Structure 1
Amino acid sequence: MYKISIDKNLFEDILLKRVTTLKKDTTKYWKKELIEPTIIDDKIRYSIKQVDKIKLTNGLGEDKPALVIECKNIDYNTKNNQFEFTLGKIFEQRNTDIEEDYKDTLIEQLLREKAQLEDNINKDHLTQVYNRRKMENDLNIYINQNNVNILNTVFIDADRFKGINDNFGHDYGDKVLVYIANKLQEYAKILNGEVYRYGGEEFIILCFCKKEYLLENILKLKEDIKYQKIFHPTRSISVTVSMGVSFFADWKNKDIMIKKADEAVLDAKKKGRDRIEISSL
């Protein structure tokens, strides 16, 4: 295992994962250590020796800081005339004053990565709103909250969306979906709620507010969506949505609440689109 002495700043940067590549000038020593000649078809060819791990130290004496770290790859940078060691996970460390800081930093990094992964799993790639999977998980939480009696569902369906795709292309269809999603997110904040892409051109808002406040604001939302247009070189694209509304207080069951909102939006489409229908007992 190679033992390499480095300065304090570089040692700390590697320990804290701020630096993941160690660079060494191509001296006679490193050429001798890393260049391996082989004979293939009576010709001498050279390759770079690979190692699994290296030991890095800083300072002098037996109690100097040291760590053993994974070496994923060793490559030669022709432009800089340097060997580059690609570093990985740390196997051992001793006499490092920043051991605890490093652990805290590593934990924070892992928690951020975990949160980012969960966010990616739970979000719709195109619109960046939450997906149906996330909605179902959230619903299971919402129905156990003390304020469940003001939980509402707004089912939103883009009108004549197939025609937009057919006439303007799927790229513009995607722009329409993103436009609608952004508007829904804007109003969901007002309604104390969250937006989910249910599937295709269908979205759902789950929110906690009084009925009168909800109906007042989703009417504004519907008109706001219709007021603005999507630019297209030949002609602007008009967008309208139909909405169906249901209230948990009426049905006392999350699945029925979603179903009733779905039925209400279908009713809105049958009655001419660009309208809001409310489910009733």
Structure 2
Amino acid sequence: MNVFDLHARVIEDYRDFVRSFFVIADRRVREYVDRALVEEARLWPDCLLQVSPSYARSYTVNELAGRGVVHEEAAAVFRTAEGSSYRLYQHQVEAMELARAGQSYVVTSGTGSGKSLTYFLPIMDSLLRQPPEGDRVAALVVYPMNALVNSQLQALEGLKTAFERRTGRRFPVTFAKYTGETAGPARDELRQHPPQIMLTNYMMAELMLVRPDDRRFLDRFGGGLRFLVFDELHTYRGRQGADVAMLIRRLKERCAAPNLIHVGTSATMVAGRDATPQQRKSTVAEFA
């Protein structure tokens, strides 16, 4: 069966499934429904074809390390499965340069443009240049859903496995997720030995501020929180946006390092299809 036959078969099965829920006795109504289902294709619109934008390429992580922008050990982490250094997009390089200058930033680029690298690379670079004292959370990365937490955790674990296999050394930073899915023994272990990079959601970040057993995660001992990252920034609107804004204020009051860097990312924060670059920047600035 080719793809076109499969497409026709799926539509036919779906049409039969919809019809199975009702029996129409009136011939005129039945003809109208059949026309809507078959000729007008009301339940299955035409295919949608979208072209992904091409993002400007820039330096490799190795080249940035050679210029002193990135720590050499970080350059050893961010490599492909074949061992080649990641070639970064221009917005990833700009994010790295802003972080090195101690500036906060918002990244708005399309899906698949490597937004997670715009904060994980600066975070690891900072931790390698100035390791925190003891087991302390130095970077808190907040996602709106556990599925995103799990996805990014898997990506970090892939980097760790590849690095240790390639170099024979231990991964240079510690990381872990802390969500409602984290089991009791794992929670106890994290409370005893907090990771340097913690992946969580905004509800758990709230609980970490109020639960006595979790307060060790977020304090100023060991230098405090250096990076506060909110992924999918566009989801925090309305009442939820107000709640998260208050959460950010409380996090900063409790555990912010003197030069805390704020990072936000989004693939869908736009001012309009015909907006100018300046209008797009203004929209992001107003939201942030």
TM-score (norm 1): 0.22
Please state which structure has a larger fraction of its residues in strand: 1
Higher relative contact order (CA 8 A, sep 6+): 2
